[in-house]
């Protein structure tokens, strides 16, 4: 119920802000944007796909007979579900796809989900701590930092328990991945956040904003917290609201802040949806030929 309330509030804030802004100046801002920097933003977000596939492969046991290219396809399809429906649907899709792979099964897929969320949580916590080191956090970011920190601690405890007592009923034999591979997964998660930061910087440069480390880190921290609301399809509304509030925090004018928020999310969604759509199209193309 609280998540739905937060989601509705974020969407309402975006709609209200967009209603009060000057549509003409926003349209002029889009036309004046440097498309080369926008292209860089899309490219950096596209690179998240192979790095994400590396993260998944690192968090699977080395003996599992699955290649990185196969994991890339599954990661891209999961990304489509994550960014067209809610995060809950995306996680469910990812678990189902991985569970169907030989040598993984449902337990292996659930282990991957747990370790993936642990690695992602560590990366999110690092981003929020970095933002706190740049400037005092607003109260909502501070509460988000505490929430992420608590979630990471809980996931770490669960993973440790499952690793040390593999014979536990139902959930035993999960997380049987060496510490070195878990650290590699965390490194990939941090790499993904770095690519996101690069995409944020590119969009800010495309619109001629006074791009600084603080403005990039603040926006990255805000979008990180927006992703904690898993009930909104593609995080629409929550993402834009987070970017808008973060940019206003560093002194960007309302029209520019809203414009950057919308375009930034557009670049992210384009990169997140395209590879999976291509893989799905190629699969459909192969069906008739195999039937004949």
Residue-wise pLDDT tens digits, 121-165: 999 999 999 988 887 888 878 888 888 889 889 888 877 777 676
How high is the pLDDT of residue 290? 46
Report the predicted TM-score, pTM, of the whole model to 2 decimal places. 0.84
Let me know if residue 17 belongs to a domain: yes
Using a CB cutoff of 8 Å and minimum separation of 24, what contacts does 210-213 make?
A: 212/250, 213/134
Question: How many domains, in total, are found in the chain?
Answer: 1
Let me know if residue 104 belongs to a domain: yes
How high is the pLDDT of residue 168? 60
Let me know if residue 291 belongs to a domain: no
Could you say which residues of the chain have pLDDT below 50? Answer: 1-7, 10, 15-16, 19-20, 290-292
Which segments of the chain does DSSP mark as H helices, in order? 2-20, 23-32, 35-46, 48-58, 68-84, 87-99, 105-134, 139-164, 179-206, 213-226, 238-249, 254-291
How high is the pLDDT of residue 169? 55
Question: What average pLDDT is seen over the chain?
Answer: 82
Let me know if residue 292 belongs to a domain: no
- Number of CB atoms found within 10 A of residue 173's CB: 14
Let me know if residue 59 belongs to a domain: yes
User: Which structural domain range is residue 44 located in?
Assistant: 2-277
How high is the pLDDT of residue 5? 47
* Cα 241 from Cα 12, distance rounded (Å): 9
């Amino acid at each position: 119920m609280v998540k739905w309330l937060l989601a509705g509030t974020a969407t309402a804030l975006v709609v209200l802000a967009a209603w009060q802004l000057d549509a003409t100046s926003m349209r002029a801002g889009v036309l004046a944007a440097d498309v080369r920097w926008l292209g860089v933003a899309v490219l950096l977000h596209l690179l998240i796909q192979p790095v994400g596939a590396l993260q998944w492969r690192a968090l699977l046991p080395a003996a599992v007979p699955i290649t990185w290219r196969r994991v890339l396809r599954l990661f891209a399809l999961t990304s489509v579900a994550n960014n067209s429906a809610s995060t809950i649907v995306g996680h469910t899709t990812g678990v189902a796809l991985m569970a169907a792979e030989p040598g993984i099964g449902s337990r292996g897929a659930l282990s991957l989900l747990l370790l993936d969320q642990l690695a992602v949580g560590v990366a999110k916590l690092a981003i929020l701590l970095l933002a706190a080191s740049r400037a005092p956090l607003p109260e909502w970011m501070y509460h988000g930092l505490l929430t992420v920190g608590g979630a990471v601690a809980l996931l770490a405890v669960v993973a440790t328990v499952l690793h040390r007592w593999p014979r536990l009923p139902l959930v035993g034999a999960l997380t049987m991945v060496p510490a070195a591979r878990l650290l590699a997964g965390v490194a990939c998660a941090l790499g993904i956040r770095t690519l996101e930061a690069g995409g944020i910087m590119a969009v800010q440069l495309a619109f001629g904003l006074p791009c600084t480390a603080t403005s990039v880190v603040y926006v990255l921290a805000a979008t990180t917290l927006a992703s904690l609301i898993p009930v909104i399809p593609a995080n629409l509304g929550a993402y834009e609201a987070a970017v808008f509030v973060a940019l206003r925090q560093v002194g960007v004018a309302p029209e520019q802040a809203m414009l950057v928020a919308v375009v930034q999310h557009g670049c992210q969604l384009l990169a997140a949806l395209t590879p999976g759509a291509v893989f799905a199209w190629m699969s459909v193309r192969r069906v008739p030929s195999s039937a004949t």
